[in-house]
Structures are given as structure tokens and as C-alpha cells.
Chain A
């Protein structure tokens, strides 16, 4: 018989060096960040435009999102279907994503098909068709998608919560827009958004792949040499002042669960206490064995899962606890969440800190396993104006955070008297519970986050 009572411990630490990042420039001035990654014959390309939905005009919310949808509906000599067929022939995965801060066009291709894939990408960026018939079809698709999203309790919770926190700033609106704002968009708005934002000075390439720096430059120079620089776009942001703790509900008739969000706006990604705050959040709700999940799931059985996170937009951070619980336990769950938020401000044990540091340090290499993961690490640096030092010195940044700094990060970044508390679910069950538990009447909102009158 072997001794099974103790967990085996590793003999030695592994050494891991992040792959070298090369900052290159195309002949037209566009920046290209390059990481050589061998083993498989794969190249991942991320063309990142540093402008997203936050640039939508007030009466045309959803413009960036719709432009991103339309960008690959035909380009150069290809119509929409033909263009899609060209990628399929290559077995290249082309995809578009958009967010408040950016739009990304990505290619996952075999090395042997890289040149042709980049050629197609260049047509998409430089010669998009923007045909009226494609515009009308995709616009209708967005309107119908907005209709469908009314069915999704977690989506409603997410968007209403952000509207409450971001008030009237450019992050308060869902990227997809609403019926009214989408209806106001014309095909020439799309063309203008493209002309103003899909410029070389507004974008960067991030390439992770099994090729040399010279090969990368050659391919991209070949197809992007005539791309004009254009102007850099930006838009001001005035962070809303936090308000005293308030409770809100959105009615979802007969729901089996309630979607709960609790939180407030937070500091930006580049704030000096980012790392202590991250360690603190790993303890609070950032992974399975965190206080919030162990309490709400493993002790109480209220939910399939619960957690907390700092989300970072370019202009502001956001802290939120999120979970879905059976409707009968909604108020109790909210109360437990608030208890945990107060608790983390009071004390954090050295055992918890050791665990969180170990978790954050040792999982770092796995963030470089795939080609896309590798590139996404660089994307985060660029979005938040961070230096490569952020990755190179990651381990020592985690390691050197002191218990005082971590506890201070809790006190500075979890503001328990300025919480926004939102529950989306059947109001006939939610209102009595919340009123009873917290001695107050929650404010009822519609699914867009507007006051019900």
C-alpha cells in the first residue's frame, strides 16, 4: 500500500519564458507586433482597430456593430457569398468581433494559405462592397436579434447593469443598439464609419505564427502597402460619480431563477494597484475555490456558479459579482454577496494569499498555449496602453504584492456603500423578498434599464 494521505509535491519549478515580441512596421507605417511560434504550420492574425461602439453617434447606437457585421459582405471582385467561399476553399477561419473599444478582424490559417488569406483580408479592409441589398438584409438581422435578446435573462441583466453604472456615457448603451437607433442608420453611415475608422493609423496587426519576421513583413507589405494612414479617432469620457447603494429589479415573468448583478465602476486597467486587486479578486470570486462560489454554491446550493470580476474598458473599469439563483433564494443570495464584499475588506488570511498567488503565477504559461491566446495577450497590452513589461515581469508583480497592499486593494476597490444591486426575475417573487430582507422597495426598470412609470 502506498501513502495516499498527502498530495505529491513537484520536484522542481519549471522555467518558462514568454516568446519574444517583435515590434515591426509595414512600409506604409502600420505597426505589426510579431511573435514567432513553432510546432504547427499555423498563423494567427489579429487586425485590431482601436475604435468600437463608443464612437457611435448618440442617435445611431449600433453603428460600429453593424459596420463590423457588414465588413465581410463582399469585397474587391467578390460578392458576399463568393468571398465566404474563397475562405472556405482555403480552410481559413475568418472572423470579426466588435466591442465598445475595438473591432477585430482575425484569420486562423494554415501557413501554406497565409498569403492568399492576407490578400482576402486586405480586400475586406480596403475595398469592402457595402452593397445596399446586403446592408438591408444585415440591418434587418440586427433588428430581429435585438428582439431575440429580450428572451435572454443574462443579457438583460448585463446590459441593464451597465446602463445603471455608466449612466449617460458612451459605455451605457449595448453595442448592438436598439430598434430606434438601428432604424436611423443608413448605408452611407456605414461607409463613413469605415472610412473614418478603418484606417492604418487607427490599427495594429498582431501576428503569432510559424514563420519568420521577414516572411511576415513580406506578406503584409505586399497587400497593405497602399493603405492610407487617415486619422486616429478618440472620444472623451467623463466617469459618473458613484451613488449610494440602490436596489433595482427587472421583471421576467415566471422565471425559474433570478439573474443577479452587484457592483460598481472601478479603476482603469493601468492603475498602480491592478495586481493587488487581481489577487484580492481571485480570493473573493475569481475562481472556483473563491469565497463567493464556495458560499453560494458549495455551502448553500443556491446556484450552479457565482463569481466576481473586474472588467476593463479603455476608459473605466467595472467590478461585478454575477450569479443566477433559484428565485426563492434571491434576497438571501444578495445578502450573502454583500456579506462577502464586506468580509474581504476586513481580513484576508495569508493562506488565501498564498493560494491566490500560486494560482495566478503558475497558470501564466498556459496563457501562451494556442496561437490565438498568445496574440490576445498582446492585444490587452495595446488596448490599455501597457508595456511588454506587464508580461515580462508578471510573476514578480504577483509575487511582490504584500498582504497590506492586497487588503488595501479590497478596501479601495470594493465600495460596499456604493453598490448597484440588480435582480432580473419574476417580480411577484422578487419584490416581497427584497423588501422583507433589506427593508426597502427595489426600483423597477424595464428591460432597457429605464424607470417604469
Chain B
């Protein structure tokens, strides 16, 4: 496999107002993707005001000084493009992919809301989007089987004043309380060029794009300094078991372990450990619990790492008549075996090969490349890090996998059981 494929030839520079700009010209297909990351996510919220970063993301689609309500959708769709935004614990992103001749349109739209969003705000728009977000919470969490498990798990994994302890969508009672003044304050605090990075990728001329980026974004004033997030010192809590009833047919167990932040030393080992435990039929936990013993209906795991911290999560649904204690016992047995006897070279090679191909496959979509340039820029301060990222995984040894399992998965943890309502 040719590794140079993963070299993304982009250019990064700053506007005077602090906006980071990353340009990646690629003339292979007639599309242009714009992608903005604001360095604000649910971790910037405080208890009692949760869910605001996400609600704010919705408000960014409600128009700005020169763009009417829903105008972003209307303009981009009329151009044959697609668009959206998303909010995570660490950041909020906004993205548009358009036919190449519409390369200027996303710049106009994004700069209008970066600079002049507050001028389009009304109480009516806020009330409407509060209703929409409350319905999003109902649809995606409350009305889904096991849908509120994540927030139960994370609010027990972290103390209540830790920024990763509340859900990104927010608590229902907090969403209901937000006022127009909150929106204005949030915009002034976080939505400025100096707290954002803009990627433009695709079929454009670099010189022309540079002058347009300057034209649309250059005059937006630099923002205030963004306050650091308060991260409380905390002791990893003692192992604890929580049980909840839900409208479900089969019981499900969640095990949450404290680990380490994104791109830190053990992060890649933990990703690969997760693959070796659950990513295929041959993976250890799948093989033992689903294939051989047939006690679990499904099992998956992942290293969930952010800017401030990380955790490793294992989730499994029991077959009818099988207790969650039994599932947990088998999971622990497999982990113990892995820590004592390590893994085989073949297991590690399989995991690495799948990962390598996945990196190449991921280059098929321009919007994915654009978002990843921002992702790497956010965490590593270098957008062109596909190669570096992959080499983190290639460097992981058998011993490091066993060591990661020993260090993190045999320690204190939170166990959540979701069991059928009686």
C-alpha cells in the first residue's frame, strides 16, 4: 500500500483576527467542502446550563444579519450541496459541501453567522428551537431503548462538576430554561475568529480562495480571550454498580473505565485493544460470548477520548435467561487472560491491516477529509496528520496492548445495568 496517499498537501495560515485557515486543493472531483470548528463544546458548559453548546448550534441555523431563518439550508440545497453541524464534548462544527462552482457561497454563509449572528436573533426563533431540541432529546434518547444509559453512565463516571459528566444534548430541565440573553452571551464568548479554524477542501484555485477568505472573514473582529475550562481534581471513584429499569426486553450491561485523553501515550493502544476485544467475529469478547458460549446477543467496546480525559466502555446485551453477572464474569475472564498471556502477533496484524485499509477508504469523501484536517489541527496543531495518526497505531506492540488492558481494564469502574421493567 502506498503510504504517500495519506499525505494531504494542505496549507495552514492565520488571518490577522486570529482565524486559522487550512486550504486543501484537490481537483479530482467537482466539489468544494467548507468545514469550521469552534473550540467550544458541552465541556464549556456549567451545571444548571447543560446542553447549551448544542442548542446554540441549532440557533446558528436560524439566520444571521443577512441570512433569513433556515436560509443556510435553502441556499446550500438550492446549489445542490449538503450541510449540517454537530456538537461534541470538545468542539462544535459546521460544514457544507457544494458543487465546485459554488465555492464562494459557504464562505458568505459561514462568515455572516460568525460575524453577525446575534443580529438575526429573536425570542420566537429561540422558543421554536428549544421545542425542536427537546423533541430531539425525546426522539434520540428518551424514546429509544437503553437511550438514557449513556448519561447515566457518564454522570457516575465523573463528579457532577466535571465537564464530561453531563450529556451533550443537556438535561431536559436545563434546555427549557435558556433565554435570549444566554444566547447572546454565549455567542460573544465563544464564536469569534480567534476561537475557530476554517478548512476549505476541494476543487478551487488557492490564490482566489485566499483572497475570498480574507474578504469574507478578514473584517470580523478578533474575539475576547476564551476562559479555560475548569476541570476539578478528582479521585477515580471506587467501583460502583447502578441498576435502572427501562422498557426493554433484554438486560444490558455497561462497564466504564477511566483511561486517558485523545492522542496521549496509551490512546492508540486502547483503540487497538478495543478492536482486539470486539471489532469482529474473531475478536476475543465476540468470539467467547457470542460465538462460543452464546450468552450475549451483542457486545461492543470503544476508547472514548477527548481533550480533557478519556474512558473505555464495554457494552453487552445478555441473551434471554442469562444474567448480567454471568456476562460480566466472562468479560473479566477474557480480560484477565489477555493481561496474563498477551495477544498473538496475528491478532495484532489483523487489527492493524483493517485499520490501514480504513484510512485509505476514508479518503473517498471530501467532507470527511475536511473534517479530519480540522480534527488533527485541533488536537495536534497540524492538520496534515493522517500519516502520523496511522503510524501511532503501527507502532503499538503486543506488550503495549496487554499493558493497557492491565493498567486500565482491571481497575475501578462503573457498572450500569439496564434491566427490563417488571
B1–A303 touching, CB < 8 Å: no
The answer to whether A2 and B353 touch across the interface, beta carbons within 8 angstroms, is: no
Tell me the nearest residue of chain A to B106, going by C-beta.
A8
Q: Quick check: A369 and B31 within 8 Å, CB to CB?
A: yes
Question: Does B108 lie within 8 Å of A7, measured CB to CB?
Answer: yes
Is the CB of A152 closer than 8 A to any CB of chain B? yes
Taking a contact as CB atoms under 8 Å apart, the answer to whether B357 and A93 are in contact is: yes
Scan A124-160; emit 1 where CB is below 8 A from any B CB, else 0.
0000000000000100110011011011110000000
| Whole-angstrom CA separation of A256 from B77 in the bound complex | 32
Instruction: Contact check, B69 vs A298: say whether CB atoms are below 8 A apart.
Output: yes
- Residues of B351-366 at the interface with A, using a CB-CB cut-off of 8 Å, are 351, 353-358, 360-361, 363-366
Chain B residues with Cβ under 8 A from A13's Cβ? 101
Contacting pair A371 B364 (CB below 8 A): yes
Residue numbers in B under 8 Å from A140 (CB-CB): 294, 319
Q: Are B1 and A257 in contact (CB under 8 A)?
A: no
CB distance from B117 to the nearest CB of A (A): 13
Docked pose: A364 CA to B287 CA in angstroms:
43
What A residues does B108 contact at CB under 8 A? 4, 7-8
Complex Cα–Cα for A89 and B349 (A): 7
Q: Is the CB of B77 within 8 A of A41?
A: no
Contact A254 B247 (CB under 8 A): yes
> Of A41, A153, A364, which one neighbours B143 at CB under 8 angstroms?
A153
Contact A326 B215 (CB under 8 A): no
Q: Is A304's CB under 8 angstroms from B357's CB?
A: no
A42 on interface, CB distance cutoff 8 Å: yes
Contacts of A147 in B (CB 8 A): 249-250, 320
Interface-forming stretch among B37-45, B86-94, B131-139? B131-139
Residue among B29, B80, B140 making CB contact with A358, cutoff 8 Å: B80
Q: Name the B residues within 8 Å of A144 (CB-CB).
A: 250, 297, 319-320
Nearest B residue to A143 via CB reads B320
* CB pair A88 B101 closer than 8 Å: no
Interface size on B, residues (CB 8 A): 82
Minimum Cβ distance to chain A for residue B207 (Å): 15
Q: Which residues of B contact A358 (CB under 8 A)?
A: 78-80
Question: Does B123 belong to the interface (CB within 8 Å)?
Answer: no
Known A-B contacts A288-B70, A363-B80; the reply to A151 vs B247 at CB < 8 A is yes
Q: How far is the CB of A58 from chain B (nearest CB, A)?
A: 27
The answer on a CB contact under 8 Å between B291 and A93 is no
- Evaluate contact between B105 and A256: CB separation under 8 angstroms: no
Q: Which of B131, B280, B360 contacts A110 (CB 8 A)?
A: B360
A407 within 8 Å of B (CB atoms): no
* Residues from 88 to 107 in A contacting B, C-beta threshold 8 Å: 88-93
Segment from A77-85, A169-177, A271-279, A385-393 that makes contact with B: A77-85
Can you list 11 pairs linking A and B with CB atoms under 8 Å apart?
A: A14-B100, A42-B361, A89-B349, A93-B361, A108-B361, A109-B357, A298-B128, A355-B77, A358-B80, A365-B30, A371-B364
Q: Interface residues, chain A, CB within 8 Å of chain B?
A: 1-2, 4-5, 7-8, 10-14, 16, 39-42, 80-81, 84-85, 88-93, 108-110, 112, 137, 140-141, 144-145, 147-148, 150-153, 252-257, 287-289, 294, 297-304, 324-326, 355, 358-366, 369-371
* B residues lining the A interface (CB < 8 Å): 1-2, 5, 28-31, 65-66, 69-70, 73-75, 77-82, 97, 99-102, 104-105, 107-109, 111-112, 116, 127-136, 138-140, 142-145, 215-216, 219, 247-250, 280-282, 287, 291, 294, 297, 317, 319-320, 349-351, 353-358, 360-361, 363-366
Known: A40-B5, A41-B360, A289-B74. 5 other contacts (CB 8 A): A90-B357, A152-B144, A256-B138, A257-B139, A300-B131
